[in-house]
Amino acid sequence: MATGIKDKVAIIGMGCTRFGERWDMGAEELMVEAFEECLADAGLEKQAIEAAWFGICFEEGSVGKSGLPLSTTLRLPFIPVTRVENYCATGTEAFRGACYAVASGAYDICLALGVEKLKDTGYGGLPSFTGSNAGSLTWQWFPNLTAPGAFAQLAGAYAAKHRIKDADLKRAMAHVSAKSHANGVLNPKAHLRKAVTEEQVMAAPIIAHPLGLFDCCGVSDGAACAIVTTPEIAKQMGRGEIVSVKALQLALSSGEEMGYGDWDGDHFATTRICSKKAYDEAGITDPREEISMMEVHDCFSITELVTMEDLHISEPGRAVHDIMDGVFDRDGIVPCQVDGGLKCFGHPIGASGLRMIYEMYLQLLGRAGERQIENPRFGLTHNLGGFPSMNVCSIAILGRYGE
C-alpha cells in the first residue's frame, strides 16, 4: 500500500540567485550561482550527488533541450540528469523527481535545479505559446487568449459568484499587492524592493479590468536548487534540525472544467483537489491552524486571493474579508508571500517552485533574517501553470523532521 512521502526525504542544502534583470549573466552563470550556494550549504563535494533533475520551461530561450546543459555547466560526474517541464510548476517538478528518487531508495543524494532566462527573449511578458509549434493546447483551447485577460475573467467570475462589489474586490487585491511589496523590501534577493500603497495599486493603469499594473507579476531571470537525501543520512552528517518533506502532490486538469457546466470560472479545481491530498499526506487536519506560512502562485493578485479559498484556508467567499483583516500579512495568522512572492521576488518560471521551497527552508531553520516568522511549524508552497480553465497545480509541504 502506498504510504506517501512524509518524512522520507530531507533537504540538506539549498541555493537561490538574486532574481531580476540579470543582463550580466546567462542561464549557465545563474545555475552556477545557485549551485555554489547550495553545495556550500550542504557541506558536500559534488561527487556525492548521484542523480539530478533539471527544470526549465522555455528551453530554447535559455539553454536548449535535454539534461546536458546542467551536467556540463556544473561539471557533474557523469551522473543521470533528467530534464523536466510542467509550465510554472517546473521547479517543483524537478524537486519532486529528486525527492521520489531518494524516497524510493534508488539513490542516496540527489539534486534538483530550476532556471529561466526570460529578460533576453525580447518579450515584455512571457514568450508567446502561439505559432506552428504551439500544439493543440493553444489552437484548440486557447486561441487569442492572454494571461491578464484570462485571470481578469477569474476575477469577474469570483465577484459574480460571491456578490462582491467591484470596489471591495479591487481594495482586497490592492492589499495583496501592497503586502507583497512590503515583504519584498526585506528580501535582498528580490527583483522588486520598493514599497507601494494600496492607493498606488488602485490608481495604476488598467491591464485587463479589474487587474491593474501592480496586480500583475513581472518576469525575471534566476535559478534555485536543492540537494536532498534521507533523514537517516542527514543525521549521520551531523545535522541538528532537519527540514523534511511532509507532502508532494500534483494535479492536472482533465479538460472537464471547460467541457462541462459544473465549473463556473471562479476557482481552480486542481488546487482544491491537490491541497486536500497534500494535507492528507502530511497529516494536517486544520490547515488554517496548522500551516504556519505559505508561498502561493501569485501571478496576479486575484490568483492569490482565490487560492486562499482553494487551499481551504478561507471559507468560500471570505478571502476578501480575511485579506483585509490581515490574516495573510507577515504578522498575520497565516503569513503569505513572506519573501515577496512572484509579485516581488520574481518569476523565472523554471526556478519559481524551488524559490518558494528555498524560503520555507530558510524560515524553518530560522535563517530568514528580517522577515523571519516566529516558530514556524509547516510551510506550504503552491504553483499553478496554465490558465484558470486548464492548468497544472503542484503543492509541497515542509516541516521539521519528526514533528
Catalytically active residues, by annotation: 88, 347
Buried-state track 13-35, b at ≥16 Cβ within 10 A, e below 16:
bbbbbbbbebeebbbbbbbbbbb
Buried-state track 239-267, b at ≥16 Cβ within 10 A, e below 16:
beebbbbbbbbbbbbeeebeeeeebebbb
And the C-alpha cell for 301?
493578485
Does the CA dihedral 359-365-366-367 come out positive or negative? negative
Left (φ > 0), alpha (ψ -120 to 50) or beta: where does 351 sit?
Answer: alpha
